[in-house]
Chains A and B, each alone.
Chain A
Amino acid sequence: QVSLKESGPVLVTPTETLTLTCSVSGLSLSNARTGVSWIRQAPGKALEWIGHIFSNDEKSYSTSLKTRLTISKDTSKSQVVLIMTNMDPVDTATYYCARTQIYCSGRSCQNWFDPWGQGTLVTVSS
């Protein structure tokens, strides 16, 4: 059974760098049809995709956040790390990691998020 769990600080000071870790069990991060995405949700707001990393180390980031983001993985530890620099109070949100499943037919690949971690609330405040 695949499960993911986020860990990291609950409180971050403005301008500080946030580092979150997603620990994955029941799944190898070297699996060719698997990636891990980071998604966040500000209180009372919609879900926002942050970025993802796949087994071949391919990465993609949110347009609005990409200058502040780094996603990396340690396959031996089954962990994916999100680094977000220059945190601001508007970045206060619950941060989720989720397995990104891939199904390809020809040159077309579908992606979906399942399962998700429980999420971790990060508050940015001085």
Chain B
Amino acid sequence: DIQMTQSPSSLSASVGDRVTITCRASQNISTFLNWYQQKAGKAPKLLIYAASKSQNGVPSRFSGSGSGTDFTLTVSTLQPEDFATYCCQQSYTTPFTFGPGTTVDFK
């Protein structure tokens, strides 16, 4: 199975900050990488698919980049509603696997 790791596991930030989260795959997955946002007690929500394509309706402050084994999710200007957990997921091959998540909380 492909292992996914994320860093950091958590971070504290303020409204207006630029936030970057990294996801790493245990092998080359090309651009088969998706990002989700999950708020407490809620189902995950798709933000980015195919590493860099924004899902319809997702604010433009969210962007994804990377290919191969290293990927990045960036929130350009953090908004109050962005405090949540973010996780990556590879779809290169089954079994699909998720990263452990990165929690963004208030500084």
Footprint of B on A, CB under 8 Å?
37, 46-49, 52, 60-63, 96, 98, 101, 103, 108, 110-119
Footprint of A on B, CB under 8 Å?
1, 30-32, 34, 36, 43-46, 49-50, 55, 87, 89, 91, 94-101
Instruction: Give me 11 other A-B pairs in contact (C-beta within 8 A), A46-B87, A110-B31, A114-B49 excluded.
Output: A47-B101, A48-B98, A49-B96, A62-B95, A63-B95, A101-B49, A110-B91, A112-B34, A114-B55, A115-B45, A117-B43
How distant is the Cα of A96 from the Cα of B101 in the complex, in angstroms? 17
Closest 5 CB pairs of A and B: A114-B46, A116-B43, A111-B91, A112-B49, A47-B98
How distant is the Cα of A111 from the Cα of B45 in the complex, in angstroms? 15
How distant is the Cα of A49 from the Cα of B95 in the complex, in angstroms? 7
> Is there an interface contact between B45 and A116, defined as CB atoms closer than 8 Å?
yes
Contacts of A112 in B (CB 8 A): 34, 46, 49-50, 89, 91
If over half of A's interface residues share one DSSP class (helix, strand or loop), that class is named, otherwise mixed; here it is: strand
Contacts of A62 in B (CB 8 A): 95
A98 to chain B, nearest CB (A): 8
> Is there an interface contact between B87 and A47, defined as CB atoms closer than 8 Å?
yes
> Is there an interface contact between B44 and A60, defined as CB atoms closer than 8 Å?
no
Contacts of A37 in B (CB 8 A): 96
> Is there an interface contact between A49 and B97, defined as CB atoms closer than 8 Å?
yes
Contacts of B97 in A (CB 8 A): 49
> Is there an interface contact between A110 and B100, defined as CB atoms closer than 8 Å?
no
**B87 and chain A: residue at smallest CB distance:** A47
